[in-house]
Chains A and B, each alone.
Chain A
Amino acid sequence: MRIALLAAAGFLAATLGSAGVRADDGHAPHPPRESWSFAGVFGRFDQAQLQRGFQVYKEVCSNCHSMRLVAFRNLAEEGGPGFTAGQVKALAETYTVKELDDAGAEKERPARPADRFPSPFPNDKAAAAANGGKAPPDFSVLAKARTYERGFPWFVSDALPFTGYSEQGVDYIHALMTGYEEPPKGFEMPGSGYYNKYYPGHVIAMPNPLSEGQITYAKNEQGQPVVPETVEQYSHDVAAFMAWAAEPHMMARKALGLRVILFLILLAGLLYYVKKQIWKKIGGEVHGLQPELHKTY
């Protein structure tokens, strides 16, 4: 017994010790954790923030980044930016899409709410050619397609209630938007690209897209700005918008989840009571005992 325990302890120590020997892989620093209205069990998107985020996307990002999976009508659907059907119709009409007419010739028409957002480039090759060889990633699910590794023990607490964390992608996007700076001394920049603190490898092909005061947000009734027109604010807003674009039914999901889990807890409680009652008095006919099968035992 004691020998087995000692052997076990020695083995574990040897294993973990050898795993501890590792080279520093020089990863980018972790993005700072931001506070998001849509995080957590009761998280909800902030409609005004999504509308501002859409404005940032429309005025800045959409010049290069497509959002192929999102339709104009989505902007008016429940749990999203909350534009009215009329606003969406008017917005769609400012875009043109291509279709074939009855003679098979390509023609342009104003977009309708049911259309998806037209892409800035006709195809990925054209997008790559216009952007230094690499197509800018599509925005539709980008907030779910980016993350960073949190490591032990955080990856455990990230899954749990109260300490749960699933906004790594959004935090990364926000960090990236605000992570442009001068390369540190001794960092050798290649011929093209820009230094970004949070980009893996630090050299990103995209130039710093946001600057202070670049986008003019709608004012309130007194003509005062509602939120500051800063890179920090733009970046928050567009990251929140991307979180919605990647998961348009998130609010419905969280609301339904709460009801499902409360129901299950209640049902489990009742079943436990029934089980206790049934097991209080043990008895009843059993049939099919086959002790002869166990004679070898």
Chain B
Amino acid sequence: MSSAHATSTYVPKSRLAKWFESRLPLVGLVHSSFVAFPVPRNLNYFWTFGAILIAFLGIQIITGVWLAMHYDPNASNAFESVEHIMRDVNYGWLLRYAHANGASMFFVAVYVHIFRNLYYGSYKAPREVLYLLGVIIYLLMMATAFLGYTLPWGQMSFWGATVITNILAAIPIVGDTIQSLLWGGYSVGNPTINRFFSLHFLLPWMIAGVVVLHVWALHVTGQNNPAGIPIKSSKDAVPFTPYATVKDVFAVVVFMILFAWFIFYQPNYLGHADNYVPANPSVTPAHIVPEWYFLPFYAILRAVPDKLGGVILMFGAVIILAFAPWLDTSRVRSCNYRPVYRVFFWVFAVNAVILGWLGAKPPEGGYVIASQICTVYYFAHFLIVMPLVGLFETPDRLPGSILETVTGPGKQVSGSGMPAGAAAEPAKRG
């Protein structure tokens, strides 16, 4: 994916390659996007999470397609078919645990990616569209994960589906229609699992489509970087291959160690024991709790005494992300140079973690009050802190160039030579 005005430096060598390139410049497109593409030389490892996310999209799709060959989306057999995968399918346990934990790892990576984006101000001009596409991917991921979690048809699957479809009914006018459409009847049942399976298979391909746009938009504007200043000359950049490629591959492999740890040694840690109890419409679990990656939003939902209000705030908590580029009044991107906002960034991050913890607690007593305080702060961060801090804060002096952040100010660097290690360990500040 390259911008319209960037022509490729790829020169086809063989006759076949020339013949093909003049008919469809696909190799040139790949070359300009993933070989010659300029990468800021000061990127730290937080910038490898895009590659990690692409790896997980691939893992989820491949394991998911294989699981679908053995899974039966039928209310009376779904639970048993998952156990059939676990017991009788060759390496079925590996496929299923990889897929279930892969979803969690996908969210770990996406949260690092989102918080990296918020810390370094990557959402600001000229990357607003790139960022909005990311918010859409996040929304699609949440829908996909929710649908997927219902498929094993355990108690938490069933009751999670019941709670979420019930809150959709709170939407005025169209709520009831949406609910009946999702249910395919008058309660969560066999038609529900059929359509959820179908949608769970569909949405990842939509994610893949938006990811293509996301990467395309990235390659138009170029990457942001820890200094938050643009590439001004080719000395600020290195070609994507081999520099970013090898770094991304290394980071993906390191992340796979974490992934493997969960698959092989803690495969059920991130799930719920209740989901090994087959779905039973007449027995409600003591605590209905969503997967960990939804917990902050679940806490916001339950913080509001009014059902519709809770639904609005819960969806609002995601939607408000889309307005960040216009709510943030500071023109300085990176928090490394924003001494006041940097503190608020970390308060926001801690607040999000506390919301997650509260989402796992029963909605009673002090937990509700704490959820309400945290919810108010969550929105205040976007609606008050972001606009105001940008107006009153005096940012630190920005470096003159990306090169300067790697080599130190005032140093002369000749040609392409760089002190060894200086580029491998980008400046760490803040």
Taking a contact as CB atoms under 8 Å apart, the answer to whether B250 and A283 are in contact is no
**How many A-B residue pairs lie within 8 Å, measured between CB atoms?**
219
Taking a contact as CB atoms under 8 Å apart, the answer to whether B273 and A285 are in contact is no
B187 within 8 A of A: no
> Which of B32, B221, B265, B416 is the one whose CB lies under 8 Å from A254?
B265
Taking a contact as CB atoms under 8 Å apart, the answer to whether A271 and B417 are in contact is no
Say which size band chain B's interface belongs to. Answer: 35 or more
Secondary structure at chain B's binding surface: helix, strand, loop or mixed? Answer: helix
Given contacts A253-B93, A261-B260, contact A16 B350 (CB under 8 A): no
Which chain A residue has the least Cβ–Cβ distance from B274?
A: A145
Residues in B with CB closer than 8 Å to A261 are 257, 260-261, 264
A268 within 8 A of B: yes
Taking a contact as CB atoms under 8 Å apart, the answer to whether B254 and A145 are in contact is no
Taking a contact as CB atoms under 8 Å apart, the answer to whether A253 and B6 are in contact is no
Roughly how many angstroms separate A142 CA and B154 CA in the complex, as a whole number?
12
B243 within 8 A of A: yes
Roughly how many angstroms separate A144 CA and B350 CA in the complex, as a whole number?
32
- B239 CB to nearest A CB, Å: 4
- B386 CB to nearest A CB, Å: 13
A90 within 8 A of B: no
Roughly how many angstroms separate A293 CA and B247 CA in the complex, as a whole number?
27
B163 within 8 A of A: no
Which chain A residue has the least Cβ–Cβ distance from B283?
A: A134
Residues in A with CB closer than 8 Å to B39 are 286
Taking a contact as CB atoms under 8 Å apart, the answer to whether B423 and A14 are in contact is no
> Which of A142, A257, A268, A284 is the one whose CB lies under 8 Å from B239?
A284
- A24 CB to nearest B CB, Å: 11
> Which of A18, A168, A293 is the one whose CB lies under 8 Å from B221?
A293
Given contacts A22-B364, A264-B260, contact A11 B243 (CB under 8 A): no
Roughly how many angstroms separate A291 CA and B235 CA in the complex, as a whole number?
13
- B269 CB to nearest A CB, Å: 5
Taking a contact as CB atoms under 8 Å apart, the answer to whether A15 and B374 are in contact is yes
Which chain B residue has the least Cβ–Cβ distance from A288?
A: B6
> Which of A5, A69, A265, A287 is the one whose CB lies under 8 Å from B257?
A265
Residues in B with CB closer than 8 Å to A272 are 250
Roughly how many angstroms separate A248 CA and B3 CA in the complex, as a whole number?
53
Residues in A with CB closer than 8 Å to B257 are 261, 264-265, 268
Taking a contact as CB atoms under 8 Å apart, the answer to whether A288 and B366 are in contact is no
Taking a contact as CB atoms under 8 Å apart, the answer to whether B261 and A291 are in contact is no
Residues in B with CB closer than 8 Å to A279 are 243, 246-247, 423-424
Q: Mark A154-171, 1 if CB is under 8 A from B, else 0.
A: 000011010010101100
Roughly how many angstroms separate A159 CA and B256 CA in the complex, as a whole number?
16
A140 within 8 A of B: yes
Q: Mark A119-155, 1 if CB is under 8 A from B, else 0.
A: 0000000000000000001001110111100001000
B249 within 8 A of A: yes
Taking a contact as CB atoms under 8 Å apart, the answer to whether B238 and A257 are in contact is no
Roughly how many angstroms separate A249 CA and B350 CA in the complex, as a whole number?
39
Roughly how many angstroms separate A169 CA and B354 CA in the complex, as a whole number?
27
Roughly how many angstroms separate A14 CA and B220 CA in the complex, as a whole number?
45
Please name 27 pairs of A and B residues whose Cβ atoms are closer than 8 Å in the assembled complex, sorted by A: A5-B343, A12-B347, A18-B369, A19-B367, A22-B365, A141-B83, A144-B268, A152-B357, A168-B273, A169-B273, A249-B87, A256-B94, A260-B260, A265-B257, A268-B257, A274-B250, A279-B243, A283-B416, A283-B417, A287-B6, A288-B2, A288-B6, A288-B36, A288-B37, A289-B237, A290-B5, A293-B230
Q: Which 8 A-B pairs have the closest CB atoms?
A: A257-B264, A283-B416, A21-B366, A145-B276, A286-B38, A294-B230, A288-B6, A19-B370
Task: Report which B residues bind A (CB closer than 8 A).
Answer: 2-3, 5-6, 8-9, 32, 36-39, 41, 80, 83, 86-87, 93-94, 97, 125-126, 219-222, 229-234, 237-239, 242-243, 246-247, 249-250, 253-254, 256-257, 260-269, 273-274, 276-277, 286, 331, 339-340, 343-344, 346-347, 350-351, 354, 357-358, 361-362, 364-367, 369-370, 373-374, 377, 415-418, 420-421, 423-424
Q: A21-B369, A268-B257, A271-B250 are in contact. List 17 more A-B contacts (CB 8 A).
A: A1-B339, A4-B344, A8-B343, A16-B354, A19-B366, A19-B370, A146-B273, A256-B264, A264-B260, A279-B243, A282-B243, A285-B36, A288-B3, A289-B233, A290-B6, A290-B222, A294-B230
